[in-house]
Every structure is written in C-alpha cells, then in structure tokens.
Structure 1
Amino acid sequence: MDGHDFLAERFEEHRTHLKAVAYRMLGSLTEADDAVQEAWLRLARSEAGEIGNLGGWLTTVVGRVCLDMLRSRTRRGETSLEARLPDPIVSEPAAGPEHEALIADSVGLALLVVLEALTPPERLAFVLHDMFGMPFEEIGPIIDRSPVAARKLASRARRRVQGTAPEPDPDPVAQRRVVDAFLTAARGGDLDALVAVLDPDVVLRADGGKALPGGMRVLRGREAVAGQAGTFQRMATLATSRPVLVNGAAGFVNSVDGELFSVMSFTVTDDKITAIEILSDPDRLARLGLAGLEK
C-alpha cells in the first residue's frame, strides 16, 4: 500500500464522524458531503506525517469549511434553512452505522431549524462543544476567538436553543404509539382524536419547495394545526404511509400510486406531538435516495 492509499484509508476511518459534524453545522446532506470532500483535499495537500491527532485536525478543518459555507450563504443572500426544512435523514428502524452516527443524540429537524437562527460562530461553538465535546481551546482558533469568547458564544447559543426546540421522548415505542394515533385520527377524520394528540403549542412546518409559494409554511398552536384536519385526512386517505425513522424520531414516508410524495417527521414530548415537519418538495425528495422506501 503506497502513502496515498494509506492516507485515504486513515481518512475513511473518520468520514462518518466528519459528515455528522458537517450535517449538524449545515443542515444539508449535499453540502455536508462537499465539506468532507474539501477536508480530504486539504489533507492530501498537507504534510500528513506531521499531523499528530488526525481526527482532531480533520474536525477542525471541517469546522472551518462549514463556517465559510455558512458565511457565504449570508454574503450571497441565499435563502437560509429558516425558509426551508433541513434535509431529513430517513432510515428503517434497523439502520447501518453511518445513519446511526448521523442521527445520534436525537438531532431532530426541529432542532436543526432552531440552529439556523444562530450566527455562524455561535452555531459552530455550540455544535462542536455541546454535540461533539470539543474543548474551547480548540474551538477558539477556528473562529479567531479566545477560548473564553468561544465559551460565551456556545453559552449564548445554548440559551437560544433551550426551550425553543422541544425535547423528544426517548422511548421510540411511545413515540410511534402517539404518531400512529395521529395517522389513525387523520385517516378517520376524527377531529377530537387529532386534537387529543397535539400539544397546545405544537408547530407545523411544511416545505413544498417551488410548489408552495412563499417558501416554508409555518403554523403554530393546536387550533391552527388541527384546522388542517381536512388536508391531513385527504393525504392519509390517498397516500400509503410507511413507518420510518426521520433523524431518529418516528415518522412516515408517504407515497401516492407508488411515487414518493412526502416525508413527515414528528417530535413527541410527554405523549403529545410538539412539532411536525413535512417535506414534499419533489426536487429535494428525489435527491434523498429513498428508492424502495416508497413501496
């Protein structure tokens, strides 16, 4: 095995972790792959033999690349993920190691949406420290701040996140029971049963892409969400719903006449649905690689 192959093999040992970091930073699977690829290119051009802690070095590089990508979104005036849903990670209940790493720590879509409201430095400090345990002494240089300043950024981000993104119930069986009750109520047009499983402060986000003028639609509160009962019933009646995990939480892949129609994710807290995310953008669904799950 030559030096290049050996380096590539060592890099592959870290790829899954690096993609998990990049996904939490960017909320986009495609951009996460781009960030990881850029890390490999920088490694290939470096004096790899002088790198003592390869995992730490690569995580730092991915953090810097993601920070640049987030700042670039702002400079170019691109639509942030506040106006569209993050890419969902859809898997069967028995997923492979890559999916398990990506969905670890219950990083649901609702939390990723909240992270979009943070500044790029806040998001990096929060993700790297709170989600991956990187010390502030290593985070500071990535954002050109002192460790103390990096700690303050993470603390500020933590305060903004806490209480904004609902904490999901850890029991997958309990989650599925509530979500199945929602589907049964929707399919039967049972408004009372539908209301019974919704939290008073439930938030629904529906991203239909170009098919939905104005971008992502957001409804807040039990009455507003229950007011979509007719829409839920039509969808539940027409679609075939397959139970899946979406970012580790209970959800459905919905198909109509064998064609993928939408992905639904639910956050269940204290046996009530506190958040619903629906992605029905056909262009983005096509890029998720869900062939077979729509059957």
Structure 2
Amino acid sequence: IRLVSEILESNGSSSMATVCASSLSLMDAGVPIKNPVAGIAMGLVSSGSRFKILTDIAGIEDHYGEMDFKVAGTNNGINAIQLDVKTNGLTYEIIEATLARAREARLVILEKMNAALASPRKDVSQYAPKIKTFKIDPDKIGAVIGPGGKIIRRLTRENNATIDIDDETDTVSVCAYKTEDLERVIKIIVNLTKEIDVGEVFEGKITRLANFGAFCEIVPGKQGLIHVSEISDTFVKDVRDVLKEGDMVKVKVVGIDNQGRINLSIKQVDS
C-alpha cells in the first residue's frame, strides 16, 4: 500500500505528523494494521555537560538546536529512528533521556489517536478504490487492448476504471472506486478473453439497424446479428418499430458459423 502525504504548512516535524496521520488514514480506510504508529521529533540544547531535551520541536528549535531526533513507534516499542546532529555526537545519557521522553510523548499522542479511532474499520471505506487482480490467456491480451489501445481506453472511459496489464505475468489489475464499476469491467474483460459459446446470454448494445435485423455488440469489439425473426414472438414488420441504436438488450447466442459470425436472439433468452 502506498500512502501520499501532502504538507500544506509546517512549524515542526512534518514527517512525524505524516506517521500519525498515515496510521489514522489506514485505519479509517479499513486496512487491518496491527497497531497504530505515532512519531515525535526531539531536540537538544546543551552547554558543557548540561543539556535539555526538547519535545516536539518547532521550526526555530530545529534551526537553533543541536539535534533532530525522530522516534516513531507503537505502544509496544519503537519502529524507526532518524537522527540529525550538529554536535560531534551524543552521550549515552542524552540518548537514554531522549528515548525516555520520546516514549512519554508517543504514548500521549497514541492516546489521542485512539480517542479518535481505536481500531481499523471493519469495512473498507466507500471512498477507497477497489482493486482486483487476475490472470488471462496471454493470447487474448491483444483483444483486451485492441488496435492502438482502442478497447482498453474505451473500457477505462466507460467504466470509470483503471486497467493495467502485465504481459510478462499475463496479469490484469483493475481498479475502480465503485464496486459495480469494478465488477462490470471485470465481466467485460472475462468475456473478451473467453470463447463465446452457444447458449450464453449477454446484455448487449444495439449498434446498427438493417432491414433484416439488428447488430448487437455483446462485448467491446465483438458483435452479432439479431435476425428480425429472432426479435419477438410476434411478427415484426420493421426492426425500427421495436429497436433503436443505443438500446441495451438481453440476447442469447443461438449460433456461430464457421467464419466466427455470431447469431443472436432476443426471444429465446428465457428458453
């Protein structure tokens, strides 16, 4: 999981603020992290053997102070440390005091975070993108991409989704914010990469009308003919009296000739 933190202003440690905010955002999104993590930046001013540890340093304290000692961790311990010093080094006494003070501050911050959100939400946020990865027949990758990327661009545009294809692993990754968009585009990709069989039912779009019937696109780039006699159980004199371009209809595959041309039927959908 990749997190992006945008810093709008800063008078202290933006990285430690990011640690805290990232933990909360992950839990808010429903990511099952084991424990929330908080961070604090510690500073130092000294004179000879005397020193003072500064907690949650501001910009001026970072500028004029002698160290920026960042400590991030959970209730159980430390996850990460990052240290910048302007002196020749730190004594064990200073390090021990810094870590002790940092722990006190970290526990206070974690308590505040816990008051806002005690644990990861059980359900993924409705605003979180839904992602699914699956494999396809490598020989069918071209069918999903289409000539010059025409098909994949159309799928992305019409379904509010992002589609990535790894041709080395034959893996497709689909991402969408709405579950219905995700499921719809996955279904289309599956249909694009499988052999169409007689008896299957699709929801297709009428793309063209002719005197003898209507052409219906059942998956992007793949269409079949609904003969006028297969539109209705009753007599249809003019196709245009029943259908128009752009109509979405359920159709059943009733035949595929030796040239791969598909014959469809509306009236046989439920039979």
TM-score, normalised by the number of residues in structure 1? 0.22
Q: Greater strand percent: which structure?
A: 2
Q: Greater helix percent: which structure?
A: 1
Greater gyration radius: 2
